Amino acid sequence: MARNSNAKVVPESAKALDALKYEIAAEMGLPVGKELANLGADMEFATELGSISSGQIREDYWGHIASRDAGAVGGAITSRLIRKAEEMMFTL
C-alpha cells in the first residue's frame, strides 16, 4: 500500500503551516498570496520592512517564484519549527 509523501502527520496543522509559509514569503519580499491576511500572517510587519507592498500581492500562485526562493521559504519554515521545538523542550 503506497503512502502519500505529502500527507501531514497532523492534518489540523495545514492552516498554521500555510500562515507561516505566507508570513515568511512576505518577509522575504516574495509577492504571493492574497490569502495572507485571511490566514493571520503578519502582513503589516512585512510591508513595514519595505520588502513588499500591499499592491504586489497576487493570488495563491507560486509559478513566478524562483526555485531558490521557494526553497528558502521551506528552509526558513524548517528552522523556525526547530527553534520553536527547542524552546519548548527547554521550558519543560
| Domain ranges for the chain | 12-90
CA distance 57 to 47: 11
Q: H or E segment at 20?
A: helix 14-27
CA distance 58 to 62: 9
The model's pTM:
0.63
For residue 36, name the pLDDT band (cuts at 50, 70, 90): very low
Amino acid at site 91: T
Side-chain half-sphere exposure of 1, counting CA atoms within 13 A: 0
Residue 69: the pLDDT is 92
CB-based contact 71:64 (threshold 8 Å): no
For residue 60, name the pLDDT band (cuts at 50, 70, 90): low
| Extended strands (E) in the chain | none
CA distance 69 to 90: 32
For residue 17 the three cell numbers come to 503551516
Q: Tell whether the model's pLDDT for residue 52 goes beyond 70.
A: no
